[in-house]
Amino acid sequence: MPRQHLRTKDAAVNMQAVRKHMNQYLVNEPQAVAIETVMQNDGFTLVQGPPGTGKTRTILALISLLLASGPKVDSDSGGSTRLLVCAPSNAAVDEIAQRLKMGIVNAQGKVEVPRIVRVGQLESMNSAVRDISLDRLLEEELGNFTLDRKASALNKAADNKGDPRRWSSNKIDPQLSLVYTQYLELTQKQTSIEQRLAQANNEIARLRKEESTTGQLQSSQIAMAIADRKQLSGELSHTRANILASKKSFEALKRRLRNAVLGRAQVVLATLSGSGHESLGVFVTAHRFQCVIVDEASQAVEMSALIPLRYGPTKCVFVGDPNQLPPTVLSLDAGSYGYNQSLFVRMMLNNCDVQLLSIQYRMHPSISYLPSSLFYDRRLLDAENLSVSRSASWHRLAPFFAPLVFFDVDGFEKVGTTINNSSSHSLYNLREAQFAVLLVRCLALLFPGESLFGRIGVITPYKQQLRLLRNQFRNAFGNDVTDGPIDFNTIDGFQGQEKDIILFSCVRAGSSLGFLNDRRRINVAITRAKQSLFIIGNYNALVNASTSTSTSIPSSISDITTKNGGNAINETINGKTNGSGNGNQSHNKQTPYWSTLLTYVRDNSLLIPNARKALLEFARPQKIDLFAKNEPALKNLLNS
C-alpha cells in the first residue's frame, strides 16, 4: 500500500449512512461509524474493540456491506468482490466462520449465507466448519467429475439450491471429466490387480504345501499359477506407469478445481500464517482480495500481520484492543526488542486514527466502571438497561454477593513443584484456593433453585495455582466439576471468553506484583464477568506491593484519569507496559492501577476483610454447612 494510506482520512463520517447501517444491520452508532469509516477510506482502518463491545457483530456487518456494495462474484465464472478474513488463532477464525454460516443480512435486508471457504489444516479446525474447508469443498468438486455420478451430482445441486453453503459447480467440463475418470479407473484397476496378484501368490503357496503334504505332483497347476502371477505383475507395472503419466494431468485438474472453488468464494477465511498458503498464492495471481480484515490484530506479532497484505488489498481493517494482552512471545530478548508489539500498536504510535467501539454489552455497570475508568478514559459506556439484564438473584445478598467484591484472604504465596516434584517458578496460594471452594459452595447452597452449571469461571495468573484450584474443587465436588460445571484457566488463556460469575485468584502476597504488574492482564481479568466479579487476594500485601512500584497513590479514579492526560491507551503502547508478557517487569511506574483498584473497593464498601471468617459467620444463620460432603443441593452446580 502507498505510504499515504497508512492513516485514515480526516473527512467527516456520513451520518446519514451511519443511521442506515444501524437500521439495516442492527448495530449501534459506534459500530456503524466504524463500518462507514471503512467504506469511505481506502488503506488501513483501525477498530478498537474493548471487552463486550461487539467486535464480531461489527465484522459481520462490515462483511455484509462490502459484499453488497461491490461487484458480484458470479458463482460459476468468478467475479470481483472477494474478502479475506484472518486472525492469529484458529478459534477466532472459526468463530467468524460459524457466524457467517448462520447468515448475514444482504442488501435487500434478507438473511443469506455467503459463499465461504475456510483455508487451513482440517484437523486444526472446529468440527462445525470443516464442511466449508477448502479440502472438503475440493472433494465435493472432484465427486462431481465422476461420469457415473454426474446425474446425482446435478440433482443434489438442484436439491440444495436454497442452501448457499453448497455451491460447488454443476457444470462439468467433458475434458476435465475425462482426466479424472481415467485417473480414477487406473487407480481402481491397480487395486484390482493387486488383489488378484495376492490371490495368485496364495494359490501358489497352497499348491506347494499340498504337494509337500500329499506327495502328489502339482507341477502343471503351479506353473499355470506362476504364469498368471507373471502376467498380473506385468499388468501392474504397466498400470502404475500409466498412473504416473496421468498424475501430472490429475494434479493440474486439482489445481484448476481448487482455483475454481476459491474463485466462487465471496469470503475466504484463514489464520494469519495460513493466509500464506500456496493455494492462495497461486489463486491471487489471477484474482485479488478487495479487503483484508484481521480480527484480534493486537494479539498478532507484526510479521504475521504482514502476511495477508501480500495480496495488495484496497482496504485493510485491523480489529483489536491494545489494552488487552499482546502477542505471546516466549523469548525475553525478542520482547526487549519489541517483537511483541503488534502492527496495530505500531500504527497507533504513528497517529493512525482509531475507531472505538464504545458501548459494552457484557458487564454489569458496577463491574464495567473500573475498566472504563482505568483503561478507556471513561469512554467505555454501558448499553441500555444493562443493570437490569445483568442483575442476579444473589445480588440482594450484598456485600458478599454484590456484582463486584474483593475478598481479603490472608494467604501466602509459595513456589510450586511440577508433577515429577522438580522445582517450578510458578506460584500458588493454598488459602485462596480453599476460600474459592467455600465461596462457590456457599453460593450454590444459598440458591438451590439457581442453575449454576457452566456459568462460573475461575481464573488466576499462575499455572501452579490453576492446578491447585482444579484439585481443590475436585476434592470438594468430585472429578466431574472440571468437565463442564466450572471452567478453570489462566488469565491469559481466558482472554476472549466470558462467564456470568468470575472468581479471580490473585495469588501474590509478598513484596512484588509479578504477573499482576501488567495492566493489560488486569484489564482482561476484571472484564470477563457478566454478573459478578469476585476478586480473592491478600489486600494488605497487594496494597504494599502496588505502593512500592508506584511514584504516588491517587485518591480516586478521577485522579488517575487526570494524571493520564485522558489517554490511557497511549500510555499502554508507549512502552510503559511493554515487555515480554511474563509480568516480571515493573510496568506501573507512572499510573498505580492496582493502588487505584484497591482504593476503589475499600472506599465503596466492596471489600470483605478477613473474608473466610466473615463468610462462615454469614453462612451460620443461613443454616448451611460449607464443609458438608455430597450435599444434594449442589446438583444446581454439577448438573446441566
We report the CATH number of the domain holding residue 423 as 3.40.50.300
> Taking residues 519-541, what's their average pLDDT?
96
Q: Is the pLDDT of residue 580 over 60?
A: no
Pairwise CA distance, residues 359 & 379, whole Å: 9
492 and 395, same structural domain? yes
The answer to the question of residue 147 being in a domain is no
The length of the chain is 640
Are the C-beta atoms of residues 411 and 509 closer than 8 Å to each other? Answer: yes
Instruction: Give the pTM.
Output: 0.80
Are the C-beta atoms of residues 454 and 636 closer than 8 Å to each other? Answer: no
The answer to the question of residue 156 being in a domain is no
Q: Which of 274, 312, 310 shows the shortest CA–CA distance to 117?
A: 274
DSSP 8-state code for residue 212: H
Exposed / middle / buried, residue 18 (Cβ in 10 Å: 0-12, 13-18, 19+): buried
Q: Is the pLDDT of residue 141 over 80?
A: no
Q: Is the pLDDT of residue 157 over 80?
A: no
The answer to the question of residue 8 being in a domain is no
The answer to the question of residue 323 being in a domain is yes
Q: Is the pLDDT of residue 497 over 70?
A: yes
Beta-bridged to residue 435, according to DSSP, are none
Mean pLDDT over all residues of the chain? 82
pLDDT band (50, 70, 90) for residue 374: very high
Beta strands in 390-526 (DSSP E): 404-408, 414-417, 423-428, 456-460, 486-490, 499-505
The b-or-e profile of 110-122 (16+ CB within 10 A means b, else e) is: eeebbbbbbbbee
Are the C-beta atoms of residues 118 and 269 closer than 8 Å to each other? Answer: yes
Provide the domain limits for residue 183. Answer: 173-262
pLDDT at 80: 62
223 and 311, same structural domain? no
From 40-44, 321-325, 343-347, 556-560, the region with the lowest mean pLDDT: 556-560
124 and 113, same structural domain? yes
271 and 258, same structural domain? no
105 and 67, same structural domain? yes
What residues have CB less than 8 Å from 579, skipping those under 6 apart? 335, 336, 340, 518, 585, 587
User: Would you state the cell numbers that stand for residue 593, as one nine-digit string?
Assistant: 492501577
Pairwise CA distance, residues 194 & 382, whole Å: 70
SS3 379: coil
The answer to the question of residue 228 being in a domain is yes
Beta-bridged to residue 612, according to DSSP, are none
The answer to the question of residue 161 being in a domain is no
255 and 343, same structural domain? no
464 and 513, same structural domain? yes
Scan for cell 525475553, then name that residue: 332
User: Would you state the cell numbers that stand for residue 515, as one nine-digit string?
Assistant: 504477573
pLDDT band (50, 70, 90) for residue 44: very high
How many CA atoms lie within 13 Å of 74's alpha carbon, on the beta-carbon side?
4
389 and 346, same structural domain? no
> Taking residues 232-244, what's their average pLDDT?
78
Secondary structure string (H, E, C) spanning 341-377: CCHHHHHHHCCCCEEECCEECCCCHHHHHHHHHHHCC
Phi and psi, residue 96, nearest 5°: -65, -40
Q: Is the pLDDT of residue 568 over 90?
A: no
509 and 466, same structural domain? yes
| Final residue belonging to a domain, choices 238, 262, 286 | 262
Distances (CA, A) of 271 to 124, 159, 633: 11, 33, 45
Q: Is the pLDDT of residue 561 over 50?
A: no
Exposed / middle / buried, residue 278 (Cβ in 10 Å: 0-12, 13-18, 19+): exposed
What residues have CB less than 8 Å from 627, skipping those under 6 apart? none
315 and 403, same structural domain? no
DSSP 8-state code for residue 590: S
Distances (CA, A) of 496 to 168, 176, 332, 365, 492: 34, 46, 25, 19, 9
352 and 325, same structural domain? yes
| Final residue belonging to a domain, choices 322, 357, 392 | 357
Q: Is the pLDDT of residue 166 over 60?
A: no
The answer to the question of residue 427 being in a domain is yes
Sign for the CA dihedral angle at 604, 609, 612, 614 comes to negative
First to last CA, the chain: 52
Identify residue 618 by its one-letter amino acid code: F
| Final residue belonging to a domain, choices 262, 297, 312 | 262
Who wins on pLDDT, 463 or 205?
463
Q: Is the pLDDT of residue 585 over 50?
A: no
User: Would you state the cell numbers that stand for residue 610, as one nine-digit string?
Assistant: 478477613
502 and 432, same structural domain? yes
SS3 112: strand
pLDDT at 88: 95
Distances (CA, A) of 191 to 52, 232, 239, 248, 513: 57, 12, 10, 20, 66
Who wins on pLDDT, 140 or 84?
84
Domains of the chain: total? 3
The answer to the question of residue 396 being in a domain is yes
pLDDT band (50, 70, 90) for residue 160: very low
From 275-279, 590-594, 603-607, the region with the lowest mean pLDDT: 590-594
User: Would you state the cell numbers that stand for residue 11, as one nine-digit string?
Assistant: 473527512
